[in-house]
Amino acid sequence: MNIHLTPFSGRNFEYYSEDGFLSGRFGAATVHGTRSKGVITFVKHFALNDQETMRTTVATLSNEQAIREVYLAAFEPSVAGGDEGTLGIMLSMNRVGLVWSGDHRGLVTNVVRGEWGFGGVVITDQASHPQAFPLLAIRAGLGAGTDLWLNSGTDNWQIDGYASNPTVMCQLREASRHILYAVSRSLAMNGISSTTEVVPAMATWQ
């Protein structure tokens, strides 16, 4: 869903257009068609992914008007599409201003979930490993609303004392809820056997 901002971007062959409105319409139609087959789509790279070279360190600078009218306009129709909208969003690797996209609460929570009503899962891109981003990014990412870290093993992400930290536990439960929401609205549910009992998450919370 990113924009053809420069001919030197290494992903232009994946992007729809240099216009936010057209990209939004193309993307929404693609998501609708895919979701009709029960697939979880992940629209990417959210947001302001302008280049491939050194994209784990680049800081994309813009003002709010341009971000909303150009960059986010390409994503909104796919994300805010209700029952036909995407169930997943993949983040970008760059920083928006000085904040990495996965730690950017303004984008991940305020815009996507607050303004657009998104209830699905937000995942990082594959650069979310310790060499690219330190452990601090996990803690800040949970607080920002990021749910999953791509290409990360359980041995890479250890948050000391998480089980006794009510803030972290609440954020982990919220991330789990987003993941289960997406899966429950896909054809992945067809694989549950007739003897499986699905218990609402709230029933187990104390």
Predicted pLDDT at 149: 85
Burial 129-147 (b: 16+ CB within 10 A, else e): beebbeeebbbbbbebbbb
What pLDDT is attached to residue 129? 47
CB atoms within 10 A of CB 150: 14
* Beta pairing, strands 99-100 & 95-96: antiparallel
pLDDT at residue number 2? 92
pLDDT number for residue 204: 47
Both structure tokens of 6: 């420069």
Single pTM value for the model: 0.85
Identify whether 50 is a catalytic site residue: no
Q: Give the pLDDT confidence score for residue 70 in this predicted structure.
A: 92
Q: What pLDDT does 156 receive?
A: 54
Residue 43 class from Cβ within 10 Å (0-12 exposed, 13-18 middle, 19+ buried)?
buried
DSSP string, the chain: --B---TT-TTTTT--BSSHHHHHHHHHHHHHHHHTTTPPPEEEEETT---STTTTT-EE---HHHIIIIIGGGTHHHHS-GGGS-SEEEEPSSEETTEEGGG-HIIIIIIIIIIT---SEEE--TT-STTTS-THHHHHHHHHT--B-TT--TTT---TTGGG-HHHHHHHHHHHHHHHHHHHTSGGGGGS-TTPPP--GGGG--
Which has the closest alpha carbon to 13: 57, 52, 46, 68?
Answer: 52
Q: Would you state the pLDDT for residue 125?
A: 86
Could you tell me the two tokens for 10?
A: 């290494």
Side-chain half-sphere CA neighbours of 63 within 13 A: 2
Cα(114)–Cα(183) distance, integer angstroms: 21
- Of the listed 50, 103, 125, 147, which one is catalytic? 125
In this prediction, the residues of the chain whose per-residue pLDDT falls under 50 are 129-131, 203-206
Query: Mind listing the pLDDT tens digit for each residue in 106-126?
Result: 999 999 999 999 999 999 887
Res 158: pLDDT: 63
Residue with tokens 């169930």: 87
